[in-house]
């Protein structure tokens, strides 16, 4: 029996379009035809350079060699995100891709650390993460095998090169690319879905399933099918970004930096040949010109590109999959890149599509499952990003005061209250984010729990100090012995262990 759609048309050739094309060409049965339409005249959003470790799984599933990928995308390695000025103006912490310490007698490590903290303030939590230590020292190596102090790593990459690389990959596997601007969308009689697209050239392209990767326009899902956009700007008020490239750093850090400003934040993303910089802001609090001047004033060196001004609104479509249209990437929703999650959301959408689509005759069951899953993913990322804004003690602007006093989604409020009361981290079995991520942000932003696990609270600090000190020293020595990130890149990267 032949089931599932046969002709898949992908609209858009940004990161979402080419990731979808490459993955579907690799993972779907060969009887499916894949066609991608993109318009050079319209172009892509032109940002999206920081990733999280899941991208390694995406690449591996496609059989992409990691060193070849690093060369092709001019990537650097990423072990963490550094947050500067997010709790208070002077605070600084890392969110590494690792846990802190390890469980002791089945109790999370951070309870022990909190137990000793008052009497031993000089060792911060980062000392118990090998990834964080390596990041601080400008070093990088793949995680040691079979170590309890393992970690994940990701990349900073040139997004247009990544799209180009995936395009070559997809075209080699039979994806056909059509250059042209879509002028109209022809509805399907049976259910009002999409039957075909017509290009400015007059060409008509028919399909069974349409993947909308048209970016913020959301050409098919939003504009044509009218699936509503749920705005989250009452929680995430930033609505603009400006991006500017500057020269490469001589010692590229193995982490992304996010620095809070009075009206939002700035990113700094080190690539091999340049540095990506950007400022995300609330347009009610600062003008575009002021934001641009602030960003230029903060660069290491002279700007190497014109400012790329981007308008957005935080939120997601009520459904990512409607009738025979599936939106992937910016056409399905947007959350600011504070935790570098957009490429991850693209990847999850593609994988879920593969998982749900091709045995389903009507598509209805798979469609509902896909929509539930993607909503959950978006909402979880949303809450984690809100957490960074909400937990601040900055007194320097109305923007931060408003964020501190806003009411947040109920599930997030519950998590914060639980940690505050008992240092317990509520977590999910699947999806983002795992407990160490929550811990890094709770403590980094200055949320101090009122109590810890009673079994640890009873232990004398003196008996804990020695083992903790030993562990921190061991991790520090291990990190010191790792190669410098710069040297690893000069060698073209390392083969993953
Ligand atoms: P786009 O890149 O906008 O591509 C849309 C495509 O659709 C283009 O090819 C265009 O030509 C085509 N198209 C549109 N209309 C038509 C038409 N009528 N006819 C033909 N073709 C058409 N993500 C991360 O993971 N990490 C980050 O660090 C990060 N930083 C970001 C910073 C900012 C300020 C923003 C706004 C986003 C950031 N993102 C980040 C998100 C990331 O950029 C996107 O998720 C990613 O680039 C995917 O975009 P896209 O492919 O959905 O859309």
197 in contact with ligand 1, CB cutoff 6 A: no
Q: Are strands 176-179 and 33-38 parallel, antiparallel or unpaired?
A: parallel
Span 445-458, average pLDDT = 96
Q: What is the pLDDT of residues 350-406, one digit of tens each?
A: 999 998 876 655 578 889 999 999 999 999 999 999 999 999 999 999 999 999 999
User: Which segments within 161-287 are labelled E, that is strand?
Assistant: 176-179, 182-187, 194-199, 204-206, 209-212, 229-231, 240-247, 255-261, 264-270, 274-281
Query: Comparing 451 with 301, which gets the higher pLDDT?
Result: 451
pLDDT for 30: 82
pLDDT for 429: 76
Atom of ligand 1 nearest to the CA of 182: 19
- Atom 27, ligand 1: residue with shortest CA distance: 48
12 in contact with ligand 1, CB cutoff 6 A: yes
Tell me: pLDDT of 442 over 80.
yes
pLDDT for 459: 95
Q: What is the pLDDT of residues 226-257, one digit of tens each?
A: 999 999 999 999 999 999 999 999 999 999 99
pLDDT for 409: 97
pLDDT for 48: 87
Q: What is the pLDDT of residues 70-86, one digit of tens each?
A: 999 999 999 999 999 99
At 219, is the pLDDT very low, low, confident or very high (cuts 50, 70, 90)? Answer: very high
324 in contact with ligand 1, CB cutoff 6 A: no
Question: What mean pLDDT is reported for the chain?
Answer: 95
pLDDT for 211: 98
From the CA of 240, how far away is ligand 1's center (Å)?
15
Tell me: pLDDT of 3 over 60.
no
pLDDT for 360: 57
Atom of ligand 1 nearest to the CA of 42: 11
Instruction: Say what the pTM is.
Output: 0.97
pLDDT for 361: 58
Tell me: pLDDT of 142 over 60.
yes
Span 32-51, average pLDDT = 96
pLDDT for 299: 97
From the CA of 99, how far away is ligand 1's center (Å)?
32
pLDDT for 59: 98
Q: What is the pLDDT of residues 111-124, one digit of tens each?
A: 999 999 988 888 88
Tell me: pLDDT of 302 over 50.
yes
How many angstroms separate the CA atoms of 320 and 333, rounded? 8
pLDDT for 362: 59
Name the CA radius of gyration of the chain, rounded.
23
From the CA of 497, how far away is ligand 1's center (Å)?
32
Residue 240, C-beta contacts closer than 8 angstroms, at least 6 positions apart = 280, 281, 282, 283, 288, 291, 309, 310, 311, 312
pLDDT for 1: 41
How many angstroms separate the CA atoms of 36 and 53, rounded? 27
ipTM metric: 0.99
């Amino acid at each position: 029996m032949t089931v599932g759609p046969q002709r898949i048309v992908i609209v858009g050739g940004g990161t979402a379009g080419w990731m979808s094309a490459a993955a579907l060409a690799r993972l779907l049965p060969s009887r499916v035809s894949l066609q991608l339409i993109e318009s050079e005249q319209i172009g892509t959003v032109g940002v999206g350079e920081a990733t999280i470790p899941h991208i390694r799984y995406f690449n591996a599933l496609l059989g992409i060699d990691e060193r070849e990928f690093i060369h092709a995308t001019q990537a650097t390695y990423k072990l963490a995100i550094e947050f500067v000025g997010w709790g208070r103006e002077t605070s600084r912490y890392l969110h590494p891709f690792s846990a802190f310490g390890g469980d002791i007698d089945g109790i999370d490590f951070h309870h022990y650390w909190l137990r000793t903290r008052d009497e031993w303030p000089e060792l911060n939590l980062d000392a118990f993460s090998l990834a964080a230590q390596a990041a601080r020292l400008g070093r990088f190596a793949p995680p040691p095998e079979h170590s309890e102090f393992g970690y994940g790593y990701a990349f900073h990459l040139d997004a247009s090169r990544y799209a180009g690389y995936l395009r070559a990959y997809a075209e080699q596997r039979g994806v056909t690319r059509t250059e042209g601007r879509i002028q109209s969308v022809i509805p399907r009689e049976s259910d009002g879905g999409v039957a075909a697209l017509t290009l400015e050239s007059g060409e008509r392209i028919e399909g069974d399933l349409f993947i909308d990767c048209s970016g913020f326009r959301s050409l098919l899902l939003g504009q044509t099918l009218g699936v509503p956009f749920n705005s989250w700007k009452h929680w995430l008020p930033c609505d603009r970004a400006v991006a500017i490239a500057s020269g490469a750093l001589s010692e590229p850090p193995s982490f992304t930096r996010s620095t809070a400003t009075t009206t939002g934040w700035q990113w700094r993303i080190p690539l091999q040949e340049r540095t990506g910089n950007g400022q995300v802001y609330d347009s009610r609090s600062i003008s575009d010109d002021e934001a641009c001047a602030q960003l230029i004033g903060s660069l290491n060196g002279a700007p190497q590109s014109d400012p790329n001004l981007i308008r957005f609104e935080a939120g997601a479509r009520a459904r990512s999959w409607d009738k025979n249209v599936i939106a992937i990437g910016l056409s399905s929703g947007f959350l600011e890149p504070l935790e570098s999650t957009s490429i991850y959301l693209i990847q999850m959408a593609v994988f879920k599509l593969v998982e749900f689509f091709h045995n389903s005759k009507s598509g209805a069951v798979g469609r509902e499952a896909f929509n539930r899953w993607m909503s959950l993913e978006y909402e979880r990322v949303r809450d984690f990003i809100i957490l960074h804004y909400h937990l601040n003690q900055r007194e320097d602007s109305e923007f931060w005061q408003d964020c501190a006093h806003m009411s947040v989604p109920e599930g997030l409020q519950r998590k914060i209250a639980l940690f505050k009361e008992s240092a317990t981290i509520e977590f999910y079995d699947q999806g983002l984010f795992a407990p160490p991520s929550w811990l890094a942000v709770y403590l980094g932003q200055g949320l101090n729990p009122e109590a810890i696990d009673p079994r640890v609270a009873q232990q004398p600090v003196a008996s804990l100090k020695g083992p903790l000190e030993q562990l921190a020293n061991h991790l520090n020595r291990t990190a010191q012995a790792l190669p410098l990130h710069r040297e690893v890149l000069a060698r073209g990267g390392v083969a993953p262990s």
